[in-house]
Amino acid sequence: MKKFINAVDQVENQMILGMVKAYPNHLRKLDCGNVVVRAAKKEGKVALISGGGSGHEPAHGGFVGEGMLDAAVAGAVFTSPTPDQILEGIKAIATDKGVLMVIKNYTGDVMNFEMAAEMAEMEGITVKQVVTNDDVAVDGSLYTVGRRGVAGTIFVHKIAGALAETGADLDAVWAVAQKVIDNVRTMGAAIAPCTVPAAGKPGFELNEDEMEVGIGIHGEPGTHKESMRPADEVADLLLDKILADIDYSGSEVAVMINGSGATPLMELFIINNHVADVLAEKGIKVYRTLVGEYMTSIEMQGFSISLLKLDEEMKALLGAKADAPAWKE
Amino acid sequence: MKKFINAVDQVENQMILGMVKAYPNHLRKLDCGNVVVRAAKKEGKVALISGGGSGHEPAHGGFVGEGMLDAAVAGAVFTSPTPDQILEGIKAIATDKGVLMVIKNYTGDVMNFEMAAEMAEMEGITVKQVVTNDDVAVDGSLYTVGRRGVAGTIFVHKIAGALAETGADLDAVWAVAQKVIDNVRTMGAAIAPCTVPAAGKPGFELNEDEMEVGIGIHGEPGTHKESMRPADEVADLLLDKILADIDYSGSEVAVMINGSGATPLMELFIINNHVADVLAEKGIKVYRTLVGEYMTSIEMQGFSISLLKLDEEMKALLGAKADAPAWKE
């Protein structure tokens, strides 16, 4: 395993410290563990918290900032944060407007966030939650009951975060977060695995002519292997599953071409070139496109396509001011 | 070679199309070739043009926008754009305030940009140029007389671009661009090579316990191989060369931890954690930190550190409004 790290047991801590040192005007790290909060707490708004295992950078710390999250909790790589850690995050950001937890659907994350919420409620903090489940590749997996929450989660951070910033109440912020979840779908593929530092070896093996289709974001194999093919055909494969899942016809969408960590922008733009053409042919209007790394799997070579079906409220909130390290608007 | 591409001879074209389709409000592609200009031309300002071979994304097309570049010319991967192509870019953006070319110091780039400038001058367009040469690793290479222009170039785009946006004249914009060049230094290392699509195989080979030190940005090997070591020691190795080159003591700096394409943010933040500590110990104040992919080498696994010694003018321009796909301020 060749990585620019110092010690396997220092990866998460040194990463979070390095992130906070890069963005001191945006981020502050709690003393109690790998929890990142806004440098300046804002009262009078619903506080948003998200998180999960590390290894998805810039998610989620990079999305802490004005118009997005108030806190991000980082567990060990691909490992749920502990309830105690999440509770510290909730307590640090809680306001009298309450707290919304944005949880990606993985059994461990859901369990630990819910446990933290119960503890917070006992301390008088009002907590609601949404669970993202945008991955159309699988209906369940080793790690999940139901669909997995993947890159589409970032749209929840952005849109619910923008509404929270206006001072909207917890029910309204919860409702728009849930609306995003109801309207976003994602699917991914990979041509090379990633290596979890503590494991020291890649999560799967692929021959030179193979790819994994239906990958999650925790380094696990996809739903199946297929023969490698031209980028446009890979994009079609993913798009077809997404477009079959909800009716996007005649609607406006936000598109995210998300890199898994080691896929160059060159390839993500080539994919977007085709995705844009296919959507245009189908009469689906692209309102906004995001190309880059939003929800990674360390250095996996892969990508996902997300489509969010928009309405006027979501369009306005997607374009509202944001000032987080990884999303400025 | 496994990549998400369609055909080797379509890589650059489809990439540029995919970029322009992602950011239609920012970018427009000229009909004549892979030249990207601002969607809306702005008169009354010095027009900035940069470019070079493809494979450095988001450079340079991602930096076209308000407060940064007016045009970016993209050659084939790691190959200089042609004089004709550059001339088309110059003609598309030229104003009565003149044009500033920001050229990275590579023999082919310098030659072709200068040839284009001569042709433009014959058509009555005033053109000046700066040549970036921030790489302290080598004083010359196979491809260059003098030091290579690498990631520090992006600071020139930002700072000279910000001054140009105010309507400053060509001499002033040239002078601040040259001031950035005089004050920025960069050095990089890599643990895995990249594959130029047309070549089909990696640019160098490394054993599991080796790294390349002093890499450029064209997939070539570095100045020498060394044994792989912990991230902090690699960062020290690069920082020592940078800090020995100009006197940063007591000054304020901008830091760029630039990923080469396949290095996860996790590792870049771990590197920044140490760089921030070392600079603090040395009494060098970090005014601003940038961590991410700015000047890549397709999917090389590596990074570079850049330090820009700032004065009040550069600080103000670094923080001035920008609205390009890859830099919003």
Residues B149-205: pLDDT tens digits? 999 999 999 999 999 999 999 999 999 999 999 999 999 999 999 999 999 999 999
Q: Chain B partners of A319 at a C-beta cutoff of 8 Å?
A: none
* Tens-place pLDDT, residues A213-266: 999 999 989 999 999 999 999 999 999 999 999 999 999 999 999 999 999 999
Residues B264, A296: C-beta atoms closer than 8 Å: yes
* Tens-place pLDDT, residues B8-40: 999 999 999 999 999 999 999 999 889 999 999
- Reported confidence tier of residue A159, pLDDT bands at 50, 70, 90: very high
- Reported confidence tier of residue A138, pLDDT bands at 50, 70, 90: confident
Residue A56 designated active-site: yes
What average pLDDT does this structure show over B266-287?
Answer: 98
Q: Could you give the CA distance from residue B176 to residue A115 in angstroms, rounded to a whole number? A: 56
Q: What pLDDT, on the 0 to 100 scale, is given for residue A32?
A: 85
**Residue B100 predicted with pLDDT over 90:** yes
- Reported confidence tier of residue B140, pLDDT bands at 50, 70, 90: low
- Reported confidence tier of residue B144, pLDDT bands at 50, 70, 90: low
**Residue B145 predicted with pLDDT over 80:** no
Q: Chain B partners of A16 at a C-beta cutoff of 8 Å?
A: 269
Q: What pLDDT, on the 0 to 100 scale, is given for residue B138?
A: 84
Q: CB under 8 Å to B14, separation ≥6 — which residues? A: A269, A270, A273, A274, B5, B6
Q: Chain B partners of A15 at a C-beta cutoff of 8 Å?
A: 266, 269-270, 273
Q: CB under 8 Å to A3, separation ≥6 — which residues? A: A195, A197, A299, B191, B231, B267
Q: CB under 8 Å to A52, separation ≥6 — which residues? A: A59, A60, A73, A74, A75, A80, A81, A103, A104, A106, A109
- Reported confidence tier of residue B142, pLDDT bands at 50, 70, 90: low
- Reported confidence tier of residue B99, pLDDT bands at 50, 70, 90: very high
What average pLDDT does this structure show over A284-304?
Answer: 98
* Alpha carbon of B186: minimum distance to chain A alpha carbons (Å): 18
% pLDDT > 70, chain B = 98
Q: Which residue in A14, A234, A263 is closest to B270 by CB distance?
A: A14
* Tens-place pLDDT, residues A263-279: 999 999 999 999 999 99
Q: What pLDDT, on the 0 to 100 scale, is given for residue A139?
A: 78
Size of interface A-B (CB pairs under 8 A): 185
pTM reported for the whole predicted model: 0.97
* Alpha carbon of B287: minimum distance to chain A alpha carbons (Å): 10
* Tens-place pLDDT, residues A29-51: 999 889 999 999 999 999 999 99
**Residue B141 predicted with pLDDT over 70:** no
Q: Which residue in A22, A234, A268 is closest to B269 by CB distance?
A: A22
**Residue B271 predicted with pLDDT over 70:** yes
What average pLDDT does this structure show over A2-25?
Answer: 98
* Alpha carbon of B177: minimum distance to chain A alpha carbons (Å): 25
Residues A329, B329: C-beta atoms closer than 8 Å: no
**For chain B, what is the mean pLDDT?**
96
Q: Chain B partners of A269 at a C-beta cutoff of 8 Å?
A: 14-19, 22, 57
User: CA geometry: angle at A51 spanning A47 and A53, to 5°?
Assistant: 170
Q: Which residue in B4, B269, B329 is closest to A270 by CB distance?
A: B4
Q: What pLDDT, on the 0 to 100 scale, is given for residue B155?
A: 98
Residues A264, B57: C-beta atoms closer than 8 Å: yes
Q: What pLDDT, on the 0 to 100 scale, is given for residue A140?
A: 65
What average pLDDT does this structure show over A291-318?
Answer: 98
The residue among A74, A273, A304 whose CA lies nearest residue A184 is A304
* Alpha carbon of B78: minimum distance to chain A alpha carbons (Å): 13
% pLDDT > 90, chain A = 96
DSSP per-residue letters across B253-276: EEEEEEE-BS--HHHHHHHHHHHH
What average pLDDT does this structure show over B276-284?
Answer: 98
% pLDDT > 70, chain A = 98
Find which of A60, A265, A274 to mutate to test the B interface (most B CBs within 10 Å of its CB): A265
Residues A299, B298: C-beta atoms closer than 8 Å: no
**Residue A53 predicted with pLDDT over 70:** yes
Instruction: Write down the ipTM of this complex.
Output: 0.97
Residues B18, A301: C-beta atoms closer than 8 Å: no
Q: Structure tokens of B109?
A: 């780039």
